[in-house]
Structure formats: structure tokens, C-alpha cells
Structure 1
Amino acid sequence: MASAISYILFLSIFSSAFALGAAPPRQSNITLDTSLYPTTNPTSWLSPNGRFAFGFYPEATGFSIGIWLVASPENSTVIWTADRDDPPVTKDAVLKLTDEGLRLLLQHSEGRLISNISTSTDASSASMLDSGNFVIYDSNFDVIWQTFNHPTDTIMAGQVLLAGSELVSSLSGTNHSSGNFHLIMQNDGNLVLYPVASPDTPWDAYWASGTNGDGYLSLYLDDKGWLYLHQGNVTSNLTSGYRHGTALVYRATLGVDGIFRLYSHDLELNTEQVLKEFAEVTDPCEVQGTCGLNSYCTSANGQAVVCMCLPGFDYLDTNRTSSGCRRNITTTAGCYSVNDSMTYISTLEGATWMVDSYAAPLSMTRKEDCGEACLKDCNCDAALFKDNTCRKLEFPLRYG
């Protein structure tokens, strides 16, 4: 990535066409043919201690199915979502425990299973556990499916993220579909944060545990707040441990902003505290992938992020400006003349980008010369000028 003192020059082509219902009863053993409903009780199943609920919760104009930490009637934290990238369901939906597992029944449809039971054994019952894990049992009370094996953006105390598994951030605080970042427990023992829209190379990572090759096979969070990488009797602590108490609950969540955070919840005081952050940034724009392709990130005093399109580009989705930008005019193949009145060079100062030049760097003293060199090159869409060096780039540009 280039440093902050730099210029980005790129071709611009001028165009003349210019809350939930009443608390349900606590039910430790859920029997077959028991159902939940979005707006009619029961809407959810509570854990025995009443701290976790599994069921329907309001999202957008409909309802999603998930698990949430019940800190208070006014303050709940979603920790898991079923089929998170499917649209919310209507109030006519029914969730039923069958011998196949959890089946979501939709109006005028046979519905679908939201629990993929990999064994040929039939489901017999289920439980919402005090750990935040929802489990399905066979007739011998062996667990044949559990949400802890299918995390979305969060792991709870007692939960393991195995090698090859990932957490994916949510799209927003009110939209729990897949977002822009993921945390991968890699098979090489490294725990790494990447933008989702990337090839997951070392160049794309914006935080890593630095434990590649050390043999760690899982990430584990215990009930004292210890978050560590684990393999056999060998561990690598990512935190130093915190208090243990009957009213304390720990979770680790990959946030909407791409930061992986360890939280504690004191359920007696109804408080939430951030204990540790990975990665530690002073500006949210330091997180690669905060803004999509062909756009760049700005923030006022390290606060609210604004994603801006390059000149000559428009947002892919004006309702989701972080999704990136596309050219607002169709271009044709070939070179453009320096004297062509329809083509000119635009400049951004102080922008940073992932440098992936297709040609050898050029030594020159003027940014104007760098722009002219790009203009004369059929393959060049943009040029980065820094420290008297010109690097030619092609669209799309990443990590602005």
C-alpha cells in the first residue's frame, strides 16, 4: 500500500450525456412437532437460565430466525442467524421441530430445513442451552446438530472455531446478512482478517495473529474471557483472561466495521464492555475493504465513514455506498489521444491504494508527467505518483 503522501491520477472520459413479544416460558427439552411463530406466542424458546433465546426476531420488514443474548427486554444482542442471506420471512411463517430437524414452513410452500443434520439418525428433541448453543438430539440424547458448529459472526464462551472455518461480519447493526469482512482460522495455524471481496492473500490481510506454521488448529473462548489458539496442550493466548462470575457472559464478534472484538456482558448490571480489539486502529479507514472497488474511504476525526467514488464513477448501490463504484460511461478499447478533448487527467491527493502495478515503476519528478505516461498507455487506467516514482495501475482499484 502507498503511504499517505501520494497522488492518484486516472483517466476521466467526458460525456455530453450527462421488539419482541412477551417472554416465552423456559423450556429445556423441546419435543417433536413443537412450533414457533413470528407474532404469536411462543415466538422463541428460552434457555433454562433465561439468558438466551432461539426463535423469530424482527428484521427489516419481516422476521429472521436466530439466537440472541437477552440482556434486558430493551437490549438484546443477536449472536447467530439461520440462513442469514435469505430474505426475512413474513408473519405467516412457522418453525417446527421435526424428525428431520428444524423445518421452516412458509405460506403456499413445503418450506425448507434450516438444520443440516449430516447423519441418518432422526431428530428426537432439542434444547436451547445456557451456553448460547442450540442443539438437536437423537433418541439417545446424542447431539446430532448444533449452532456452535455453524457460527455466523460470533463465538461464545465454550465455542471453538476450527481450522478452515470462519466468522463473517454482518452487513449492519440491523441487517444480519453477510457483510464485508471475514475472520479465518487458517489451516496453517494463522488467524487472519480479510475483506470478503478479496482473494485472501497476505496483501489483502489487515490483521493476523502471526502464528502461521505453529500448528494451531482452533480458536477457543473460555468462560473466563481467555481467547486463545489451541492445539493439543499448546496454546497461544490472544487475551490475558478476565473475571469469572455467574452473571458474566463473554462473546467474541466480528463487527460490521471489520474489527474482531471480545466483549463481556454483566447481566446483573445490564452492561456491556469491549475488552480487546483486533485489529487496533485509530481510523476506521485503516481497515482494508471498508469501501468497495473503485472507491475510497474518508472519515471525520476517525468517526463516521463515508465511501466516495472516483471521478467518473457512480455507486453500485446508492443505498449501500460501501459496495463500490462503477464507471458512469461505457468505454471502448484502444488508446486515447493526448489532444482528445473528451479525455483528461483527474487527480486525487493524499489517497492510499493497494499497489498492484502491471508495469515496472517509472522514475520522474512531476506528477503531470506520470499522468501523461498513463494517458499514452492503452492498458493504464490510473497512475500512482509518490517519491518521484510513477506506477501504472488498472481498474478496479482496491483499498482506497
Structure 2
Amino acid sequence: MASALFNFIFFILFLLPFCTLSQNDGTVNVGTSLAATERSTPWLSPSGDFAFGFQKLQDNDQFLLSIWYNKIPAKTIVWYPKDTSPVSRGSTVEIDAQNGLVLLDPQGRRLWRTENIVDNVSHGFMNDTGNFVIARSDSSGIWESFKNPSDTMLPTQIIEINGMLVSRTSETNFSRGRFHLDLLNDGNLVLNTRSVSRNSGFDYEYYSSQTSDLGNASNSGFQVIFNGRGSIQVLRRNGERKALTTERSIPTTSDYYHRATLDFDGVFRQYYHPKSFSGNPGWTAAEYWPENICVSIIGNVGSGACGYNSICRLQNGKPICRCPQGYSLVDPNDANGHCYPKFMPSCGEDDQKGSAEDLYEMLEVSDTDWPTSDFEETSPCSEDCCKNVCLNDCFCAASIYKDNKCWKKKLPLSNGRLDTSVNKNVSLPNGQASVENALEYSQGYSKTQFEGRSTYQEHYDFFQPSLIQINSSKMHLFLSSHDDSTAHLESPQKQNHGDSQTVRPVLPSYTLPV
């Protein structure tokens, strides 16, 4: 009896290593589930390069269902369901025979599932390519993450006609952003912007692969291929390929991890990361499209590379968005978002205080332009004339002067960019009146009025009213601020509270288009 028990225990111990190996071969059986906790063990690919599971997001208690590079410190995410939100602790994902992957909240309510599951599911498989496949009993695929991408392509992945990548909102916000990469019906691979709120109708294309031939469809593209050697190509129907990146321009995939991501700033970049490393080397961008997104987005629809009323400049291949003087971010946590004016000149109420020239001054900023948002043209008009026509118009947010012509701008200002080739001046009229008079009769925007929905009021340094003018050689911003006091935007009129005063500017509400 003792001998039989010993043999049984030995047999179990002998099998344990093989059980462990079977759990790491990438196969995930029907009925297997994962929970959204820090201790949850993800489903690994055979090599361990990729993991599928829940990744805890920074600075909150939310988790994202995702696939990531597992052997690098950053645990870079390369896939997530692009139409879902991060989930609460205790949520689960499971492999279901009828629905494939099913994401449930802690109460068991379904949040997301894989679509178009037409056959019974046998198992899931996490490939070493980074592709998670839901398979039949013969291992043929029913659904795969490569055919349902989020914002990233990986080597061996293909995008077909009408396939797309969608940017996230920010580096840490995985909600749907406004930049898209699309392979169109005509064979062109394009980058364009889209209204997030409408989720329909595209704005202007700001990059095109030029792989469409309306006269001969065989010359048009029909696939975007990220091949196993790291080259991204558009495959034409006649078999020819247009290379976006060549194998000679990038490190080998045998020694480096690769990915191509439509980043939250709208730039499509191909990155590489060493597989063997010390420390934390990070990802290096090998190529990116377009070359300068700040000046690539044109047209009258949408805000441009940055948010409304913002200015874009390129730095090391990345767009940097900044609010002009006198404007602040609507969302302080979104540096690429919209800016709102802290103040606006009043219409008519300043007439008794003096002329516009007495109340405002002008300041210059070079090589800046908002090429759209025109509402009036004056010609002929000198540079001084252009300043004055904007200075004396309370609806003028900016003006451009060039070749004896003047264009006045309206809010919101769009497609703002720093561009040394434009040779233009921008001017903002800025108040010169005393602080006491400014507090008494100036008007401004509160964050509440601008957003049109929140009751939250912020404290801002008080800026006197101002305008902008743009000329053909440099941009001028004209502003001044009250250096030693802060206006509390709270009361419709001045109220005494001991030695302090509070002022609430009164202006029509202003809501940004989205």
C-alpha cells in the first residue's frame, strides 16, 4: 500500500513540469478566465514576448484589457478593444464557446465581446507575433486581434481595404481619439481627423500614400503589409509594392521588437526596441508620417493638429501644442487640447472709458499663423490699418496682414501653427488701462461659460482685454497681466468682502465645437 502511494506521488511530481509547459504554450481553453487585479497572471505567448490580460492604468484603480510587449520594462500596449473603456477592479474576461472573448464587470454585466463569432469556439491562442486568435477545433481562426486593431500594427500584420487604426485620446487615456489611419476603397492609405463627438464624417486628409489609380484599378493598393522583416508597404493589386519603410533603414526584427503606432498626437510612427538590453532604453522612432503635422492639416473643418485656439510647433518630430498668451487649456491634463480665452474685449461698454488705442496695445510673436477662421477682408490696408481695424472690432480675435491686405479672424481659431515659411505677423490687442479700471469695466470668460456645462469656477490671474494681429513677417501678441492680485470670477458685479473685491466677467456663453 505504501509502495503504491509512493509511486502515485512520484507520478504526479513527474507530470508537474509538463503541466506547467502546457499552460505556457499560448493555448487558452474555453471556460478559462482572468480577473482585473494586480495578481492576475496574463495569458502568455509561447516565447513570453507578448501577454494578454489586464494592465493597471497609472494614477487610478482602472484596468485595461489589452495585449502588451511583456519582456520590456514599459510593458507597451499594442492592442485593446477600441470601443470600450477601462474597467473596474474585479472585472473578468473569459473564453466562451459561443461568444469568444467576453468582458464582464464585477456584477457580471457584459461590457464587450468579440463580434462575428459564427462557429463554436474551441480555444484561444496567444501567438508570438502578438496576434490573439480565437480558433475552431481544427485551429483555424474565427476572430483575431490583428484583424481588429486599435492604434498599432505589428510585424506580419496586414490591414485590408476599409481597415483602420484609431488613435487614443492621450498617452494614458485609451478612449477613442480624433486621428485615423484608413486604407480607402480607392487604394490610398491616408491619415485624417474625425470629430470624436459625431464619430462620423471625416475632416481633411493630412497624409496620403498616393497609391490610387482611378484609371487602372490594378495599380491601386489593397493591403498595407507590415512584413516580418520590419518593412511597411502598400501592396498594389498588380503585385507591385510601395515601401513606406525599407529593411535597410531599420534594425532587424531578430534583434529588435517593432511596432507602428498612430500616436495620440496624430503622427504615425514606426518604432524599434532592443530585445537584449540593460537599464530601460525605451522605443526609438525609425520613421514617421507626416513629416510636419503642424502644417500638414489644412481646411476649414476641425481644429488642426492641436485643439482650437492653440498653436502647434514641431520639436524633434513631435507636435508641441501651446495656448497663446491670454488663453488657458480647457482641460489642464490635455496639453494637446482646446484653449479658451481668459477674457474678451467688451462691445460698447468701453466707449466711455476712452478710445481703443488708449485702452489697448499690441505685442508681437514671430512666424505664427492661423490660416483659417477669416470673417472679414479689408483691402487696401497697411500694417497699421490692419492693427486698427482689429483693435476697433470687439469680435476680432486675430488679424493677418500681407501684401496690403488684412484678414480679421473669429473664434475659435483653428489650425494654429509656428511656421517660419509663412512670413506673417499675429497681433492681440491688449489692455493698457489701470488695474482699478480693468477690474471695474473689463469683461472675460470663465471656464464655466466657455465649457457651457460645468458649474466649476477657477481662479485666474486677471488679464486685461486683448486682440491679435497677424502680419506677413512676424506674429504679435499684445497682452498684459495684473501681477500682484487675482480676480475671483464669481459675482456678477463688484462686491466688498472686507478689504478684498471679487469680480465676475459677464459675457455670452461660448462652447467649443468638437
Shared fold per TM-score greater than 0.5: yes
Aligned to 1:325: 339
Change (3 A) 1:194 1:310: farther
Deviation of 1:397 (Å): 1.4
The structure carrying a bigger helix percent of its residues is 2
Deviation of 1:66 (Å): 0.4
Aligned to 1:297: 312
Q: Are residues 1:111 and 2:126 paired?
A: no
The answer (yes or no) to whether the contact 2:221–2:234 under 8 Å persists in 1 is yes
Aligned to 1:222: 227
**2:71 match: secondary structure:** strand
The answer (yes or no) to whether the contact 1:101–1:115 under 8 Å persists in 2 is yes
Aligned to 1:362: 379
Kindly provide the amino acid, as one letter, of the partner of residue 132 in structure 2. F
The answer (yes or no) to whether the contact 1:168–1:178 under 8 Å persists in 2 is yes
Aligned to 1:15: none
Identity of matched residues, %:
29
Q: Are residues 1:69 and 2:86 paired?
A: no
**1:217 match: secondary structure:** strand
Structure with bigger gyration radius: 2
Deviation of 1:300 (Å): 7.8
* Aligned mate of 1:280, from 291, 313, 316: 291
Change (3 A) 1:141 1:302: closer
Change (3 A) 1:217 1:336: farther
The answer (yes or no) to whether the contact 1:166–1:183 under 8 Å persists in 2 is yes
Change (3 A) 1:340 1:43: farther
Deviation of 1:208 (Å): 3.0
The answer (yes or no) to whether the contact 1:180–1:290 under 8 Å persists in 2 is no
The answer (yes or no) to whether the contact 1:248–1:266 under 8 Å persists in 2 is yes
Structure 1: 5+ residue runs without aligned partners?
A: 1-23
* Aligned mate of 1:390, from 406, 413, 416: 406
Q: Which moved more, 1:236-245 or 1:90-99?
A: 236-245
Change (3 A) 1:107 1:119: closer
The answer (yes or no) to whether the contact 2:45–2:126 under 8 Å persists in 1 is yes
Deviation of 1:64 (Å): 0.6
Alpha-carbon distance in 2 for matches of 1:80, 1:138: 22
Taking the TM superposition and a 5 Å limit, the aligned residue runs for 1:299-314 are: 305-309=320-324, 311=326, 313-314=327-328
Deviation of 1:371 (Å): 3.9
Alpha-carbon distance in 2 for matches of 1:292, 1:250: 30
Deviation of 1:224 (Å): 1.0
Alpha-carbon distance in 1 for matches of 2:125, 2:407: 59
Deviation of 1:321 (Å): 3.4
Deviation of 1:26 (Å): 1.8
Deviation per residue, 1:119-165 (Å, 9 max, x gap): 43232211111111111123443312111112111101111222333
Alpha-carbon distance in 1 for matches of 2:180, 2:411: 24
Structure 2: 5+ residue runs without aligned partners?
A: 1-21, 214-218, 298-303, 417-514
Q: Looking at both structures, which has the greater relative contact order when contacts are Cα pairs under 8 Å and sequence separation is at least 6?
A: 1
Q: Are residues 1:188 and 2:186 paired?
A: yes
Structure 2 length normalisation: TM-score? 0.62
* Aligned mate of 2:264, from 256, 261, 274: 256
**1:363 match: secondary structure:** coil
Deviation of 1:51 (Å): 0.8
Q: Which moved more, 1:232-241 or 1:296-305?
A: 296-305
Q: Are residues 1:161 and 2:176 paired?
A: no
Deviation of 1:42 (Å): 4.3
Change (3 A) 1:149 1:363: farther
Q: Are residues 1:177 and 2:175 paired?
A: yes
Kindly provide the amino acid, as one letter, of the partner of residue 292 in structure 1. G
Deviation of 1:252 (Å): 1.1
Alpha-carbon distance in 2 for matches of 1:115, 1:44: 18
**1:75 match: secondary structure:** coil
Change (3 A) 1:292 1:96: same
- How many equivalent residue pairs? 366
Alpha-carbon distance in 1 for matches of 2:179, 2:277: 32
Alpha-carbon distance in 2 for matches of 1:51, 1:219: 24
Deviation per residue, 1:233-287 (Å, 9 max, x gap): 1221112214655444432112233322222333234765432222234xx8557
Structure 1 length normalisation: TM-score? 0.78
Kindly provide the amino acid, as one letter, of the partner of residue 50 in structure 1. G
Kindly provide the amino acid, as one letter, of the partner of residue 106 in structure 1. D
Kindly provide the amino acid, as one letter, of the partner of residue 152 in structure 1. S
Deviation of 1:195 (Å): 4.0
Alpha-carbon distance in 1 for matches of 2:363, 2:184: 39
Aligned to 2:241: 235
**1:112 match: secondary structure:** strand
Deviation per residue, 1:10-42 (Å, 9 max, x gap): xxxxxxxxxxxxxx9524221111011233654
Deviation of 1:104 (Å): 1.6
Change (3 A) 1:383 1:48: same
Aligned to 1:19: none
Kindly provide the amino acid, as one letter, of the partner of residue 385 in structure 1. Y
Alpha-carbon distance in 2 for matches of 1:29, 1:217: 32
CA RMSD of aligned residues (A): 3.5
The answer (yes or no) to whether the contact 2:310–2:321 under 8 Å persists in 1 is no
Aligned to 1:20: none
Q: Are residues 1:127 and 2:125 paired?
A: yes
Q: Which moved more, 1:340-349 or 1:351-360?
A: 340-349
**2:336 match: secondary structure:** helix
Deviation of 1:359 (Å): 4.8
